Structure 1
Amino acid sequence: MTKPAMDSAAATPLVEASGIVKRYGPTVALQDGHLTVLPGESHALVGRNGAGKSTLVTILTGLQAPDAGTVLFDGEPAPPLGDRDAWRRKVACVYQKPTVVPELTVAENLFINRQPEGRGGFISWRRLRTQAAELLDTWDVHVDPDARTAELKVEDRQMVEIARALSFGARFIVLDEPTAQLDNREIERLFTRMRALQESGVTFLFISHHLQEVYEVCQTVTVLRDARWITSAPVAELPRGALVAAMAGEVITEQAEAERAVARAEVPADAPVMLDVKGLTGESYADIDLTVRKGEVVGLAGSSGSGKINLAESFAGLHRPTGGTARLGGEQLPFGDVTAALRAGVGCVPRDRHDQGLVFGMSIGDNATMSVLDRLGRYGFVATDSKRRFADELIERLDIHAEGPDQPVSDLSGGNAQKVVMARALASEPRLLVLINPTAGVDVKSKESLLARMDNARQDGTAVLVVSDELDDLRRCDRVLVLFHGRIVAEHEAGFRDHDLVASIEGVGPVRGAGNGATSHNGPAAKEQGDNRG
């Protein structure tokens, strides 16, 4: 953990919010918001979904005014709400959902609406590229200015957004769930860049549901609960149990955690094989052999380049492998056709609920039932009453906190939005449920609820395939298969040691099926990954 850049006793707060109140009609979104961020620190803002974090961020970034309370930057009042240029010089937010224009280049995104002019008032493309290269170099962002932004990795896109914010003069950056779509290695690179930027005078407000990240990268933490400020404290002085208690409003003891542990019966050895994969080969994986039995949960783990996500998406019809076979319930699984895969009995929670999981212009009911409309009517007509009843059942089953099926899905918190995606995946009563990063960017309570739905599916006899970088997700699995450079290299039974799984993911764990006396990977693949780490 890095140290604050300045002595807290001597530093004037870079950002100070006091007594913030925000109401939307009868709903109190924030009743008592407080935040004090010192220059050069990484300050965590945590709380369950609905705690008021997003509301506070919209006020800190000038998107809306508080009903009461004050916001100061460097001891001075915040700019008027309509002065967007002044706000850009103070603060910027990098959201989970990209704010860059994907079809434009990096350089064009960095200077959008402020491109340098040449003769005749036309854009000087040479100066644009030169200024972009200088900006990226200043902040040590290793991205080609001419690269199309849509082709960037998530971590590089985030750094481009940070560089753009810094180019306006802002030195206070809000990172909203920046690690939700990153694997462990990408997360570590992001944290390394954050530390370097801190040393250059940049201050971060770090929002994350992954508490371990708070302890890794932040110096101070502020907790909101039920729209109120609960506490602010140095991270080093706040044990994890106390932090969870502040967020949840309850003390969670080791005994309570043990009582919450899921009772898991072993999958019978004679349970029928639901998914049978042999020699499957695709763009980023090769010679994959795996089985998932009825009522079994199998995890797929690995680094970002392991091929695990591409493999899982292939089963959901998103990709067409170049070789091998996959049979679901004894029948050939269709590839490259999402609708055909759905008809074959595959339900899927995709990796990104924003771009792949939800239609934000539609209601909760529309989103939850779109995979089963053929069951809710005949001859292309959908019975409204049937659709509403079915949607109500899904809302109750998934414990989605909403006004009803007609509420726009865009109104929901991240955890409830993810529950809608899960509801749609379960609506078709799939024989195979594919979950890709199912708990990314959700709070502790929503995470437990989503994992409980996975357990229920298992108990109902559904075969479940889980792709995740979260150890909490993988611990619920009967087996975890580890991919390394597109091949399965290790298998861990339930009850695995975290260290052993992480070692396999990093390419230094025991070979699959090698037993207790297994040797570590020490061939070219392991050397390549080791070189990348260095």
Structure 2
Amino acid sequence: MSTAPQTLDGGPVGERRPVVEAVRVTRRFGSTVALCEASIVVRPGETHALVGRNGAGKSTLVGILTGLQAPDDGAVAFDGSPAPPLGDRDAWRRRVACVYQKSTIIPTLTVAENLFLNRHARGRDGLIRWSRLRREAERTLAAWSVEVDVRQPASALSVEQRQFVEIARALSFGARFIILDEPTAQLDGAGINRLFTRIRDLRAQGVTFLFISHHLQEIYDICDQVTVFRDARHILTAPVAELSRPALVAAMTGEDVAMPRAEHRPLPADAPVLLSVRDLVTSSGAELTMEARAGEVVGLAGSGGSGKVEAAEAIVGLARPAGGTVTVDGRALRPGSVPDALAAGVGLVPQDRHREGLVPSLSIAENVTMTVPDRISRYGLISPDRRDALARRTIADLAVKATGPHVPVADLSGGNQQKVVMGRALAGDPKLLVLIAPTAGVDVRSKQTLLGVVADVRRRGAAVLVVSDELDDLRICDRVLVMFQGRVVGELAPGWSDNDLVAAMEGVDLHHV
């Protein structure tokens, strides 16, 4: 065993100092541990991938590496020196920048104004010198080979151009360490190739990248090193060339071998089709054709940018599709109409319970029953007794922790709020239950309760569509359709392994590697 002296990150003395080093970083949000003694070392001139499933801690680490939040324990260093205080934003900008999936470019301003926002060239009179500002912007873009007219409004830029402008802006502060957060999510194949060419060019000029992506093939195309986080912890760091795709997926999922799944009872041959989706095209261009029969639980899986959520929202009327048809139990739904979907027997748990699932100021009873006024009415008027009785059944069936039906939803925990959303979806005894990310942000017991509902729904003969990228959500499915970049790329039958599913969602075929 080597006894050579080592630096803080474990490398031999004499190696170049890491561009950034996070050592045993822990970060808590209340009772939630977002990072637990996690570490990462990024060396000069490399493109270093950071991968992990949702909730692995990637976003929290980015927040710490960019100075948006401080770790509770552990340390961060840039070029061997401690990270600056959080309040010294200029010092952080000189060290690191992040190009997020959601652009920070202001569309109503010109490219030049965006490049030098809050640091415009001014004369002695304090007035902005626009000609000088534009010249400096042109020099900045030219220095980094970004071919964009600095006079045009940023709203005219393509996604790809916005990314390049954001990178140039970061470099103009002096930063030579750039974090790219899902940079390819909105790019087509040609755009991805151009981005990768630009990354290679910038790396040759001394720029270092931390590359975050759900698309594992991209890791092998552009990255030198890869770090895997799982369940808020560092799992491994390895050269990409030395890590096989199955090994990378196994590190992300925690499975070393494919785990068997319990066999589902075959559906009766005469089970009717309750959901029929034909040639559905979302406003973003995602496409879906599928069916679900009575008593069947179908999963719709995919990573961010796959189009799965957009397709689900088009099915239930939350979004108006660009084309195609959706039929529930033989009834064609009116595109973009939630009331029509409800009338046809669709129950929904939306992706964002705060924005689409709840009215926080109203009580549990009011939230649970707001879509079924006919069930709680008498002589055309709402019956408080019937409303409260239905709410009490929901509280009991879903183990909602509340003293009664009149408790405001705003007073409940996240898990109990999600149970109320589920209760409302079930209140009309739906023929089709659509669950979009049904257990996001809830505790383990709430997750078990929410997913346990599906077995009861299928026994009643309803169809269930589970739309998620969480493995626990998808394990309850009879079969899983996998979407990648707006298309269904595969269907996994009962007995699928976590590794196969994760690989399919990331665009990797484990059987052809």
TM-score w.r.t. length of structure 2: 0.63
How far apart, in 1, do the equivalents of 2:329 and 2:422 lie?
A: 23
How far apart, in 2, do the equivalents of 1:372 and 1:355 lie?
A: 17
Residue equivalent to 1:111: 116
Structure 1: stretches of 5+ with no match in the other structure: 1-6, 397-404, 506-534
Residue equivalent to 1:39: 44
Residue equivalent to 2:90: 85
Q: Give 1:61 deviation, angstroms.
A: 1.7
How far apart, in 2, do the equivalents of 1:371 and 1:320 lie?
A: 25
Q: Deviations over 1:78-122 (max 9, x none)?
A: 223221111011112334555444555555443332334479645
Verify the 8 A CA contact 2:250 2:256 in the aligned structure 1: no
How far apart, in 1, do the equivalents of 2:433 and 2:189 lie?
A: 24
Are 2:299 and 1:294 equivalent residues in the alignment? Answer: no
CA 1:311/1:44 → structure 2, altered by over 3 Å: closer, same or farther?
closer
**Structure 2 matches for 1:385-404, cutoff 5 A?**
390=394
How far apart, in 1, do the equivalents of 2:210 and 2:249 lie?
A: 19
3-state SS of 2:90 partner = helix
Q: 1:173 aligns with which of 171, 175, 178?
A: 178
CA 1:421/1:357 → structure 2, altered by over 3 Å: closer, same or farther?
farther
CA 1:269/1:232 → structure 2, altered by over 3 Å: closer, same or farther?
same
Are 2:166 and 1:199 equivalent residues in the alignment? Answer: no
CA 1:225/1:117 → structure 2, altered by over 3 Å: closer, same or farther?
same
Verify the 8 A CA contact 2:474 2:480 in the aligned structure 1: no
Residue equivalent to 2:7: none
CA 1:291/1:221 → structure 2, altered by over 3 Å: closer, same or farther?
closer
How far apart, in 2, do the equivalents of 1:321 and 1:480 lie?
A: 20
Q: Which amino acid aligns with 2:328?
A: L
Q: Deviations over 1:420-470 (max 9, x none)?
A: 89958955664345678x69x99xx9xx99997898576764445688999
How far apart, in 1, do the equivalents of 2:121 and 2:66 lie?
A: 26
Q: Give 1:333 deviation, angstroms.
A: 1.2
Residue equivalent to 1:11: 16
**Structure 2 matches for 1:336-355, cutoff 5 A?**
336-347=336-347
CA 1:452/1:193 → structure 2, altered by over 3 Å: closer, same or farther?
farther
Verify the 8 A CA contact 1:280 1:323 in the aligned structure 2: yes
Verify the 8 A CA contact 2:308 2:486 in the aligned structure 1: no
Residue equivalent to 1:532: none
Q: Give 1:231 deviation, angstroms.
A: 4.1
Q: Deviations over 1:121-164 (max 9, x none)?
A: 455566656655654555455667535549854x6555444333
3-state SS of 1:12 partner = coil
Q: Give 1:345 deviation, angstroms.
A: 3.4
How far apart, in 2, do the equivalents of 1:366 and 1:133 lie?
A: 57
Verify the 8 A CA contact 1:368 1:427 in the aligned structure 2: no
3-state SS of 1:89 partner = helix
Higher gyration radius (CA): 2
3-state SS of 2:270 partner = coil
Residue equivalent to 1:237: 242
Q: Deviations over 1:263-314 (max 9, x none)?
A: 3555545332324567888978899987554345678899x99999876544
Q: Deviations over 1:190-222 (max 9, x none)?
A: 555444433332222234556555444432233
Verify the 8 A CA contact 2:94 2:174 in the aligned structure 1: yes
Structure 2: stretches of 5+ with no match in the other structure: 1-11, 401-408, 508-513
Using the aligned pairs only, state the percent identity: 50
Residue equivalent to 2:65: 60
CA 1:235/1:267 → structure 2, altered by over 3 Å: closer, same or farther?
same
Residue equivalent to 2:3: none
3-state SS of 2:334 partner = coil
**Structure 2 matches for 1:237-276, cutoff 5 A?**
237-239=242-244, 243=248, 252-254=255-257, 257-259=258-260, 261=261, 263-264=263-264, 267-276=267-276
Q: Which amino acid aligns with 1:336?
A: G
Q: Give 1:13 deviation, angstroms.
A: 1.1
How far apart, in 1, do the equivalents of 2:83 and 2:233 lie?
A: 21
CA 1:41/1:300 → structure 2, altered by over 3 Å: closer, same or farther?
same
How far apart, in 2, do the equivalents of 1:462 and 1:127 lie?
A: 66
CA RMSD of aligned residues (A): 6.2
Verify the 8 A CA contact 1:8 1:38 in the aligned structure 2: no
Residue equivalent to 1:331: 331
How far apart, in 2, do the equivalents of 1:221 and 1:18 lie?
A: 17
Q: Which amino acid aligns with 2:336?
A: G
CA 1:225/1:107 → structure 2, altered by over 3 Å: closer, same or farther?
same
Residue equivalent to 1:431: 431
Q: Give 1:346 deviation, angstroms.
A: 3.6
Q: Which amino acid aligns with 1:37?
A: V
How far apart, in 2, do the equivalents of 1:157 and 1:266 lie?
A: 50
Verify the 8 A CA contact 2:368 2:420 in the aligned structure 1: no
CA 1:178/1:138 → structure 2, altered by over 3 Å: closer, same or farther?
same
CA 1:214/1:460 → structure 2, altered by over 3 Å: closer, same or farther?
farther
Q: Which amino acid aligns with 1:70?
A: A
Are 2:79 and 1:74 equivalent residues in the alignment? Answer: yes
3-state SS of 1:11 partner = coil
How far apart, in 1, do the equivalents of 2:233 and 2:425 lie?
A: 35
How far apart, in 2, do the equivalents of 1:162 and 1:300 lie?
A: 34
Verify the 8 A CA contact 2:431 2:462 in the aligned structure 1: yes
CA 1:276/1:243 → structure 2, altered by over 3 Å: closer, same or farther?
closer
Q: Which amino acid aligns with 1:338?
A: V
Verify the 8 A CA contact 2:229 2:235 in the aligned structure 1: yes
Verify the 8 A CA contact 1:278 1:289 in the aligned structure 2: yes
How far apart, in 2, do the equivalents of 1:36 and 1:23 lie?
A: 21
CA 1:193/1:431 → structure 2, altered by over 3 Å: closer, same or farther?
farther
Residue equivalent to 1:516: none
How far apart, in 1, do the equivalents of 2:274 and 2:463 lie?
A: 6
Q: Which amino acid aligns with 2:335?
A: F
Q: Give 1:40 deviation, angstroms.
A: 1.6
3-state SS of 1:274 partner = strand
Q: Deviations over 1:354-408 (max 9, x none)?
A: 997688x969x99999685445987598989986985796688xxxxxxxx7689
Verify the 8 A CA contact 2:307 2:483 in the aligned structure 1: no
Q: 1:162 aligns with which of 164, 167, 172?
A: 167
How far apart, in 2, do the equivalents of 1:305 and 1:227 lie?
A: 23
3-state SS of 2:202 partner = helix
Q: Which amino acid aligns with 2:170?
A: A
How far apart, in 1, do the equivalents of 2:59 and 2:81 lie?
A: 23
Verify the 8 A CA contact 1:367 1:424 in the aligned structure 2: no
How far apart, in 2, do the equivalents of 1:138 and 1:151 lie?
A: 19
How far apart, in 2, do the equivalents of 1:458 and 1:242 lie?
A: 36
Verify the 8 A CA contact 1:451 1:473 in the aligned structure 2: no
3-state SS of 2:23 partner = strand
CA 1:211/1:313 → structure 2, altered by over 3 Å: closer, same or farther?
same
How far apart, in 2, do the equivalents of 1:212 and 1:342 lie?
A: 40
